[in-house]
Structure 1
């Protein structure tokens, strides 16, 4: 999937499209990088398929589409949530200022046009749609944008603070114009507003609910939130106040939690659900061969791997305090663990070539990818044992690994356990409900945790929240002043080659410090049956809002 380049300055009259793809970069090779191991070995060769618009003649108006979700989302609050599945749900009822189209370009959504950006890159002026109304009947205004941004930046539990970068001030110039001032140029800013930081929340609902906003969220979207049965389902219903209500076919969408991948696939083929996310690579072949099923795919710009708790003792947002454990104190132990993982073989064996091995935060397809950022350590279990001996720890070295209680992560963890044993590690796999695991990661209640990130087109979206010292998703309590400085330097630059070089240096440092062990990169696999018009965007979010059930 093509990924991001910095937003360009827009002046009135430019097309309302901000290209993030198609950036041609000369290779930036940094001396001394570790040997490069191929990151696509026997992978399934197949172009991404994002779906197409519903054929009005082929669908009927009305009815309920049932969406089989792989996990129960965490809070339905764009300020607080961190899971991909929550974004599947938000896609139906909580629009952003901007959105991604199929080639990863940014297009207006709640904004009327792309932002006007000052010559120095620090002031963004955004004009809003004048026909947008929240589900509670209040109009979308610049004041609502200001209220949402202040909450995202000031709420202590906000997951959006790091993503909003150096925002200094947000002010309403008039009812439908907002001005955002940054402390310094921030290249990814427009792309950030195409994600959860750009979802605008009803000020009335925020005033009434406060931090409980996620219990009854109110946004602008084709649907409005109806109800939730914890662990079972979430329902949304068509919103007649939506500015493009005539384009909506369905009456209702029910997001039904179906954790077992085999059952999701079976439910899709039986007609019990019409959409199923996160299809297992074990099941995708049979579904792909079924003429009644449409398979949508998107190569993730994100990553999956293992957080190693180095200093998260008091929860995210608190000052990191180094843990007094060999895993936290001794980089040699972490480096041994990384050397003990045969990433390519594991990805091939566990996922049948549908997923690719990963050794860093940038996808191979990123225009910022270089030899330095894509370099992989050799798989060397003998050297791993030598490092453990040098570190003076007991062999086998035991690691308790919390893993989402889902089929594919558990299969991977068991294969990893066998792989790492040869390198001198004893991995205790602890299956954990996904929402519980996110809470444990937030609070530092873990030693190692298998969790990933669906990714953003711009590399900063894959790095800052996790690796900045006070990052809003810095589950590991990692802190490195050089990394903090590189993150700021990269986003302040409008030179793509310079940014690419910085990300190469930064990745190499992360693979020395190893707060996170990058393992593999997913391909989003979604199956659709008995419905037309379900779309998948390039960052893996499923968008069923303008779909319709097929004519019987």
Structure 2
């Protein structure tokens, strides 16, 4: 443990004084069914053109650079300013956005041809074409610190033979490419801005989108304004959107009730039932392709993306200790006690709602404290075994950490909680400056997006420093296959490997819950949120209330 982590421990202890010492675990009961509501359409209501919409954003985004960013909240902002080659719709289907159609693939799977549109214009006036796409994809492959590189697979060459065609040549087939280009890897950046700003692009991103970046006040807000050059400008109604940073869920809920914000993300399950009864407040909610987990540092000595090193602790070197932790966790009781049954227990990277889900991938390690104690005894560790757990300093995250602390205590684990501000926690995770960290991933429609970057050796988001040739091989083979049944079987086998090694212990899946003002002068519509976790505001508008 280095000196930065030790210094944080004192601050963590002070921060926890205001919280209850433990969280009681309630009796397990079945969660009520939840109905997905992915959008509020404008419909026949009268649109009030213009205005500034304010969204209460639960955490500060990291740098607004599609190549390097790793935060869900960055995706919220970038969704308004940086369109992608592809997107997903409310049903999770991949649809063209800046591409003109879905890709065509050669019979050998090694050449992918993407037709692109030529009518868009970047916010700085640069024409959009295949060459601009090639520039972006090349940057994603070559920029130091890129977290998109592994998402693009074994890509050997990117070319633009004409203005409307991009050709990708692969060393071996790579079936997840379309899904990868439906997220940050497919956000196309202005080549003019890239040439002018280089690695500083994220300070003033320039893309194609309904809005363009205007300003950022660190730790306070990000503002974007309507882009008059946008190819569908007639479909954009707002003058601007201000993303106001509000880390406290109670404050977001209070501002939503008062109308000081018109949209708020990541509402706490503690507030949802009351908000659902609130006059003038509407709720969007949907399941998630992602997960929340505890990541153990088993080899991240030089930062994510670097070759793994050795960490000489039982937690890092002995998988029995990590398996004991997994068996000590009562996932269902955690969800019940901390999140009012609103979320779902999770035991793998693959959502049961995925088309690739199988009984093997849905299998969950039991809550087995006796076996956990036996494994710790076999590992020969002194008890209680102490683990420092870094976590976000939000109320829900701290409630979860305390419930987790209580859940594993009788087994022989002593969890020491280190609360850290979210954007700082992302750096801590990436740098490997942790023993264990509780964070999550918002999820991708293709399982490759939940696995390759996190579980393959040296990948850009492999925060645990995990390295297992068997896991590497399964991820590679699944990405090469074009047979959905074969891919599903391979991901099921990968789940078994991960549950044996436990570099990550998966805990639960959130329901993405977004509140909006539904009545009065600040009523809004045209908001959408899908299972990728992103709140979409590009077509949002103030509307005349139904009152």
Is the 2:179–2:446 contact (alpha carbons within 8 Å) kept by the matching residues of 1?
yes
> 1:176 & 1:92 partners in 2: Cα distance?
24
Question: Where in structure 2 are the equivalents of 1:137-536 lying within 5 Å?
Answer: 137-529=125-517, 530-536=523-529
Matched position secondary structure for 2:136: helix
Question: Where in structure 2 are the equivalents of 1:88-103 lying within 5 Å?
Answer: 88-103=76-91
Is the 1:490–1:498 contact (alpha carbons within 8 Å) kept by the matching residues of 2?
yes
Matched position secondary structure for 2:466: coil
Per the TM alignment, residue 56 of structure 1 is displaced from its structure 2 partner at its CA by 6.3
2:535 paired residue number: 542
> 1:518 & 1:115 partners in 2: Cα distance?
34
Per the TM alignment, residue 122 of structure 1 is displaced from its structure 2 partner at its CA by 2.2
Match of 1:69 among 57, 62, 77: 57
> 1:538 & 1:427 partners in 2: Cα distance?
32
2:544 paired residue number: 551
Per the TM alignment, residue 60 of structure 1 is displaced from its structure 2 partner at its CA by 0.3
Matched position secondary structure for 2:39: coil
2:13 paired residue number: none
1:7 paired residue number: none
- Tell me the TM-score normalized by structure 1: 0.91
Is the 1:100–1:538 contact (alpha carbons within 8 Å) kept by the matching residues of 2?
no
Per the TM alignment, residue 368 of structure 1 is displaced from its structure 2 partner at its CA by 1.6
> 1:538 & 1:431 partners in 2: Cα distance?
28
Is the 2:155–2:171 contact (alpha carbons within 8 Å) kept by the matching residues of 1?
yes
> 1:264 & 1:533 partners in 2: Cα distance?
20
Per the TM alignment, residue 47 of structure 1 is displaced from its structure 2 partner at its CA by 2.1
Is the 2:348–2:506 contact (alpha carbons within 8 Å) kept by the matching residues of 1?
yes
> 2:456 & 2:538 partners in 1: Cα distance?
35
Matched position secondary structure for 2:423: helix
2:8 paired residue number: none
Is the 2:512–2:531 contact (alpha carbons within 8 Å) kept by the matching residues of 1?
no
Is the 1:298–1:539 contact (alpha carbons within 8 Å) kept by the matching residues of 2?
no
> 1:476 & 1:329 partners in 2: Cα distance?
12
> 1:507 & 1:127 partners in 2: Cα distance?
36
> 2:511 & 2:314 partners in 1: Cα distance?
34
Per the TM alignment, residue 53 of structure 1 is displaced from its structure 2 partner at its CA by 3.2
Is the 1:486–1:506 contact (alpha carbons within 8 Å) kept by the matching residues of 2?
yes
1:35 paired residue number: none
> 2:484 & 2:440 partners in 1: Cα distance?
26
Q: Which of 121-130 and 145-154 deviates more?
A: 121-130
Q: Which of 120-129 and 402-411 deviates more?
A: 120-129
Pairwise CA RMSD of aligned residues? Answer: 1.2
Matched position secondary structure for 2:156: strand
Matched position secondary structure for 2:404: helix
Per the TM alignment, residue 186 of structure 1 is displaced from its structure 2 partner at its CA by 1.4
Is the 2:42–2:543 contact (alpha carbons within 8 Å) kept by the matching residues of 1?
no
> 1:354 & 1:106 partners in 2: Cα distance?
28
Instruction: Point out where structure 2 has 5 or more consecutive residues left out of the alignment.
Output: 1-27, 518-522
> 2:32 & 2:84 partners in 1: Cα distance?
33
Instruction: Point out where structure 1 has 5 or more consecutive residues left out of the alignment.
Output: 1-39
> 1:506 & 1:322 partners in 2: Cα distance?
23
1:48 paired residue number: 36
For residues 488-528 of structure 1, the C-alpha deviation after alignment (integer angstroms, 9 at most, x for no partner) is: 11111122221111111111110111100100111101111
Matched position secondary structure for 2:98: coil
Q: Which of 453-462 and 373-382 deviates more?
A: 373-382
Corresponding residue pairs, total: 513
> 2:274 & 2:467 partners in 1: Cα distance?
45
Matched position secondary structure for 2:150: coil
Per the TM alignment, residue 345 of structure 1 is displaced from its structure 2 partner at its CA by 0.8
Is the 2:387–2:435 contact (alpha carbons within 8 Å) kept by the matching residues of 1?
yes
> 1:493 & 1:128 partners in 2: Cα distance?
25
> 2:272 & 2:102 partners in 1: Cα distance?
38
Matched position secondary structure for 2:99: coil
Shift of the 41–373 alpha-carbon distance from structure 1 to 2, 3 Å rule, reads farther
Per the TM alignment, residue 125 of structure 1 is displaced from its structure 2 partner at its CA by 1.5
Q: Does 1:85 align with 2:78?
A: no
